[in-house]
Amino acid sequence: MIDQMYRKAVLTVAGQKAIENAVRARGWGMAQRFVAGETPQTAIQAVHDLKKDGIMANLDLLGEFIESPAQCTQFADNVITMLDAAHAAGITPYVSIKLSSVGQGKTVDGEDLGLTNARRIIRRAREYGGFVCLDMEDHPRVDQTLAQFRTLHGEFGGQHVGTVLQSYLYRTEKDRASLDDLSPNLRIVKGAYLEPETVAYPQKADVDAAYRRLVYAHMQAGNYVNVATHDESIIHDVQMYALAHGISKDAFEFQMLYGIRRDLQRNLAAAGYRVRAYIPYGRDWYPYFSRRIAETPRNAMFVLRGMLKG
C-alpha cells in the first residue's frame, strides 16, 4: 500500500503543468540517465555501447496519446525511419511501440489506424529480420491491444511481433492463458500506470507473486518469455525455476531499463543469460521520465538533487 501511495503521489505531482515545465527546463541532464537522447543516431550509439557488454537492445521512440491521425501516421513514419537507420548501422532492429501513439482508437478508411500503422511498422521490421513488441498501456486499452496483437500475430508470425502483460492487473493470468494457442513471445512487467484498486493489486507482495506465476506459467507452456524486472529476488527465482525444470537459457531473456542496474545487466550477460535493455529515445521524454521517478524514492531523490544543483 505504501508503494502505491508513493507512486500515486509522485505521478500526481508530476502531472502538474508547473512541475512539468520546471523539469523540462532544467531536467534533461537528469533524464539522460534513463533516455538515450532525442534522435535515432543517439539511440543507435547506445545500442552499440551495450553490445560491447553482450547486451541486446529494445528501442522505443517516446510518445503517448498523440491526438490527430496525421500525427499518429507521422509517428509511425518516425519508427520506420529508426528501423531503416538501425538496419543501415548493422543492427537487427527490435523496437517497442505503443498502439495509442500510432492511432489506436481512431478509424480511418474503415479500419483502426493503430492497426494500419502497426502493420506498416512490422512489415518493415520483417524485411530486416527484426521484431516489434506491442507495449501494453492503461487498463481500458488491454482488450483492444490483445485483439490487435492476435490479428498481427496471425499475419506476421510470432518471430516478428510480441506483446506485454502487466502483473498488477487482476485479469492478466487469464489473459496470458488465453494466448497460449499462439505460443506468443511475451514481455512480463509489473506495470507502471496508476490504476484503481478495482482492477489492480494495491500491494507489492501480490504484484510480485502474480509476476512469478505469469513467468513460470509461460515457461511451462513452452513459450518464450521476456522477464522484465530489476528485482533481484525475482531474477534469482526465475534462474532457479529454469534450472529445476530443465529450461534452456535460450528460452527466455531478462529485460531491464536503460540506465538502471547496469552492473546487474552486465553480470547476467557474463553468466550466459540473454539480456536486453529497453532503450527509450525522443523528445517526448517527460511522461516516461515521470514514471521512472515514481518507481522508487531513490529515483526521486536523484532528480531532486539535480534540480537543487541547477
C-alpha to C-alpha distance for 67 and 100, rounded to whole angstroms: 9
| DSSP bridge partners of 132 | 95, 161
Cell 502474480 sits at which residue?
210
C-alpha to C-alpha distance for 222 and 230, rounded to whole angstroms: 23
Catalytic residue among 124, 187, 274, 292, which?
187
| DSSP bridge partners of 94 | 131
Q: What is the structure's pLDDT at 295?
A: 58
Q: What is the structure's pLDDT at 302?
A: 44
Whole-number average pLDDT of the chain: 88
Decide if 180 is catalytic.
no
Name which of 49-63, 153-167, 208-222, 283-297 the model is least confident about. Answer: 283-297
Which residues are within 8 A (CB) of 171 and not within 5 positions of it... i.e. 6 or more apart?
A: 142, 199
Decide if 187 is catalytic.
yes
Name which of 51-65, 89-103, 207-221, 294-308 the model is least confident about. Answer: 294-308
Catalytic residue among 135, 138, 175, 208, which?
135
The predicted model gives 136-150 an average pLDDT of 97
Q: What is the structure's pLDDT at 193?
A: 85
The predicted model gives 285-296 an average pLDDT of 65
C-alpha to C-alpha distance for 103 and 176, rounded to whole angstroms: 25
Closest CA to 96 of 43, 25, 174: 43
User: Could you tell me the residue ranges of all domains in the chain?
Assistant: 1-35+285-310, 45-284
Kindly tell me the burial class for residue 90, based on how many C-beta atoms sit within 10 Å of its own C-beta (0-12, 13-18, 19 or more): exposed
Q: Sign (positive/negative) of CA torsion 97, 224, 275, 231? A: positive
The pTM assigned to this predicted structure is: 0.87
User: Could you tell me which CATH class the domain 45-284 is placed in?
Assistant: alpha beta
